């Protein structure tokens, strides 16, 4: 089963400094029928305008993944971590028993485009932690590049959940395949371009919630950037 939710069907909010699309119930968007997809709890597609950002705020018992596509995002937290996430970099933050952090556009004028993903952990009360890593943008070209996993996939950032996040950049005409184990779900989002997923068309901003499929054939009909989550 592949359930496609088109870009225009997503919840959209404009807060002046923030232009955001929320894929699941979040903030002041309340929808009990749209709380999660498997272990995936939040998928926010954010554009933070120059000088904008989220001031210090708390989280707990969530694995938070941030991927920057354009611009730069500045991070700081109460563990003493500071850093700037650039395009091609991925950040993971285990909120665990409690963490306080802030995120701001690192530029006073240029926008930052990012995806922020929250995954429900296997255990509550984990030790809070933060980590980020640069992935060569060329390594995702024509491939499904794993960037986050439970720690069992080499060279990935680790989270406390049996979930894997893949990034891919496909030129028109290229195709990749992903096998899904029995009982697994998947979630695919088209950041840019146009693809066919098992003969189902998706364009930029579209998402697919996938269940009871044995494999995913992803073919670019137009140069495409995408993210795929393999989930419990």
Q: What is the C-alpha separation between 1 and 94, in angstroms, rounded?
A: 31
Evaluate if residue 27 carries a pLDDT over 90. no
Evaluate if residue 160 carries a pLDDT over 90. yes
* Sign, CA torsion 135/101/39/223: negative
pLDDT at position 28, please? 86
Q: Which residues of 11-44 are buried (b: 16+ CB within 10 A; e: fewer)?
A: beeeeeebbbbbbbbbeeeeeeeeeebbbbbbbb
The pair of three-digit structure tokens given for residue 108, joined into one six-digit string: 């006073």
What is the mean pLDDT of the segment spanning 21-28? 94
Give the pLDDT confidence of 120-131 residue by residue, as tens digits.
999 999 999 999
Residue 108 CB burial class (10 angstroms; 0-12, 13-18, ≥19) = exposed
- The per-residue pLDDT of the chain, averaged, comes to 96
What are the residues facing 64 on neighbouring strands?
A: 93, 118
Give the pLDDT confidence of 208-226 residue by residue, as tens digits.
999 999 999 999 999 999 9
Task: Report the residue count for the chain.
Answer: 232
Give the pLDDT confidence of 80-118 residue by residue, as tens digits.
999 999 998 999 999 999 999 999 999 999 999 999 999
Report yes or no: 105 and 52 within 8 Å, Cβ to Cβ.
Answer: yes
Phi, psi values for residue 139, rounded to 5°:
-75, -15
Please tell me the pTM assigned to this model. 0.96
Report yes or no: 79 and 97 within 8 Å, Cβ to Cβ.
Answer: no
Evaluate if residue 62 carries a pLDDT over 90. yes
Q: What is the C-alpha separation between 222 and 99, in angstroms, rounded?
A: 41
The CATH number for 120's domain is 2.60.120.10
Q: What is the C-alpha separation between 13 and 22, in angstroms, rounded?
A: 8
- Structural domain boundaries, residue 29: 2-231
Q: How many domains does the chain have?
A: 1
The pair of three-digit structure tokens given for residue 232, joined into one six-digit string: 């419990």
């Amino acid at each position: 089963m592949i359930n496609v939710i088109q870009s225009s069907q997503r919840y959209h909010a404009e807060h002046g400094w923030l232009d955001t699309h929320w894929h699941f119930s979040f903030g002041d968007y309340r929808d009990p029928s749209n709380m999660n997809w498997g272990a995936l709890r939040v998928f926010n597609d954010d554009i933070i305008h120059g000088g904008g950002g989220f001031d210090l705020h708390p989280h707990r018992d969530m694995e938070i993944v941030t991927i920057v596509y354009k611009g730069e995002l500045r991070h700081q937290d109460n563990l003493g971590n500071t850093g700037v996430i650039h395009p091609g970099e991925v950040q993971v933050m285990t909120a665990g028993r409690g963490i306080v952090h802030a995120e701001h556009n690192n530029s006073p004028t240029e926008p930052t485009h990012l995806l922020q993903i929250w995954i429900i952990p296997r255990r509550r009360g984990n030790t809070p932690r933060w980590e980020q890593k640069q992935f060569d943008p060329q390594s995702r070209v024509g491939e499904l590049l794993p960037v986050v996993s439970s720690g069992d996939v080499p060279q990935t950032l680790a989270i406390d959940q049996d979930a894997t996040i893949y990034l891919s950049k496909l030129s028109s005409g290229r195709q990749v395949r992903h096998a899904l184990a029995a009982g697994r779900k998947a979630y695919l989002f088209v950041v840019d371009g146009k693809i066919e997923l098992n003969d189902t068309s998706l364009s930029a901003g579209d998402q697919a919630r996938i269940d009871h499929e044995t494999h995913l054939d992803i073919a670019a009909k137009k140069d495409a950037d995408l993210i795929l989550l393999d989930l419990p």
